[in-house]
Amino acid sequence: MIDFLWNLGSFVVALGILIAAHEYGHFWVARKCGVKVERFSIGFGKAIWRKTGQDGTEYVIAMIPLGGYVKMLDERVEDVPEELKEQAFNRKSVWQRIAIVSAGPIANFLFAIVALYAMYLIGVPAIKPVIDSTIAGTPAAQIVVKEPMQVMAVGGQKVRDWEEVNLALAGHIGDSEVEITLAPLERLEGSDSGQHYILNTKDWQVNPEKQLPITAIGLGMFRPSVLPELAMVSKDGAAGLAGLAVGDTLVAINGEKYTDWPRFVEIIQNSANKLVSITVRRDGEQLSFDVTPKSRENAAGKLEGVIGVAPTAQPWPDNMKVQLEYGFFESFPVAVDKTWQLVSVSIKMIGKLFTGDVSVKNLSGPISIAQGAGNSADVGLVYFLGFLALISVNLGIINLLPLPVLDGGHLLYYFIEVITGRPVPEKVQEIGFRIGAALLLMLMSVALFNDFSRL
C-alpha cells in the first residue's frame, strides 16, 4: 500500500508539472497574440482550488489530474460580446493559431531541456559502458573480447553510460545493421580511436518487457565479482518464504558445493516449481532450507525458476565510475543534445510501431508511468528529473501526432487552411474529431491492457 501511494503521489506530481508546462505554452503564446484566456486549468472535473488573476483569467486546480486545458475566448464555442471579438481565438490569423497550438508541445521540449540542464548541473553518478564478453547466438557474438572494452558509440552516436547505450540501441530496433564502436578501457582520455563493428541485426529480436536491448544484442556487461553472501532476499519470494535471510552465505545447492553465482543461478532457473535444497552459513552455523523456485517466462518464452535473492557484489572499480556533471554553461548544450536524442529515439519508435518492427505490447499507459515516477523519485532528485524529461518529450511528440483531438490534428487543419486559403469545413473537422477520439481511445486501451498484463 505504501508503494502504491508513493507511486501515485509521484505520478500526480510529475503529471501536474508536465501538464502545467504544456498548458503554459499555449497560455503564454495566446496572450502574446492578443487572445483572451478565460481559464487555465490543471486537471479536469470539480475545482479544488481556484483564483481569478488581475488579468481576468481564472486559474484552477481540479480533482482529476489526468490532463488540463486553456479555455480561450472563441466564437465557435460561445457567444462573444462585440467589444471582445478581436480577442477571440478564431479571429486570429492562421499563423497565430498555429503558433498558439504548437506552443504546448514546444513547451514540453523546452521543459525537457530545463530538467536535463538541472540534472547535469547537479551531477549524475553513472557507470561507464564496459563489456567483458559477448553472448553466443546474438548479433554481438562476432566481437572477440580479450580485455574489458568500453562502448564508445552506437550507430555513430557517442555514449557515456549504459543508459545512453540502451537508448541508442532502442532506436535501432528493426534496422538491418548497427555499428558499435569499442575501445580498450584504459585508452588515453580524449582519444577518438576505437574499433568499429557492424552487427547484423536483420534477425535481431527484442522483447523490452523481458530484456534490455543491451542484453538482446549480446553485449556482456562487466560486473564486479560476486560474493556468496546474500545482499537481498525478497520477503514474498520463494527464498524469503522458506527462511533465507540477508547475510546468509551460500554453501551448497542440492548437495553441490557453491562455486560461483552463475552456476547457482543456472540450477535455480532449471528448477522452476521443483524443490531444491540450499545450504547456507549463518552466525557460524550451517543451515539447510527447502526452497521451491517460482516460475516466470524468460525472453525465449520458456519457464525459468526464480527465488528472489541477490548476492553481494564488490565495489565498482574507480576507473569505471563516471560523474556526468557539467558547469553552469557547459550543461546547456549537453541537455539540448540529450533532449534531441530522446526526441529522435521516440520518433523512431513510434514509426516502428506503425511499420510493425516494434510490437504494440511495448506501449505503456498511466500505470507504468506511475511506477516509473515512483521508482525514479525513490532513487533521487536527479533521476526524477531525467524521468520528467523523458515523459515530457514523449508528451510533446504524442501531442504532435496528426489526430484531430490532439494538437497535431489542429495543426493539420490549419496547414490545410494555409495551403487552400480557406478553413477546413466544420463538418469535416467534426468527423475527424470523432475518428481521432476513437483511435486515441483504442491506443489508450492497448496501453492500459499492457499495463495490467505487466502487474
Marked catalytic residue, from 23, 78, 82, 229: 23
Residues 6+ apart with CB under 8 A from 277: 253, 254, 255, 288, 289, 290, 291
Q: Report the C-alpha gap between 155 and 179 in whole angstroms.
A: 5
Helix locations, 284-425, DSSP H: 331-355, 366-379, 381-399, 407-420
Enumerate residues 6+ apart whose C-beta is below 8 A from 314: 224, 225, 226, 227
Exposed/middle/buried for 70, CB within 10 Å: 0-12, 13-18, 19+? buried
**Nearest-CA neighbor of 400 among 343, 341, 359, 358?**
343
Q: Are 306 and 237 in contact (CB under 8 A)?
A: yes
Nearest residue to 23 via CA among 368, 443, 392: 392
> Which residue in 148, 152, 162, 149 sits closest to 191, CA to CA?
152
406 DSSP assignment: S
The strand ranges marked E within 185-297 are 195-200, 219-221, 226-233, 249-253, 256-257, 276-282, 285-291, 294-297
CB 124 within 8 A of CB 386: yes
State the pairing for strand pair 130-134/219-221: antiparallel
Whole-number Å distance between alpha carbons of 321 and 127: 5
Helix-, strand-, coil-residue percentages of the chain, each rounded to 5: 45, 25, 30
| Nearest CA among 180, 128, 127 for reference residue 154 | 180
Pairwise CA distance, residues 159 & 201, whole Å: 20
40, three cell numbers: 487555465
Active-site residue flag, 23: yes
Helix, coil or strand: residue 47: strand
Calculate the alpha carbon distances from 127 to 151, 224, 264 in Å: 12, 12, 26
- Residue written as grid cell 478581436: 86
Catalytic residues: 23
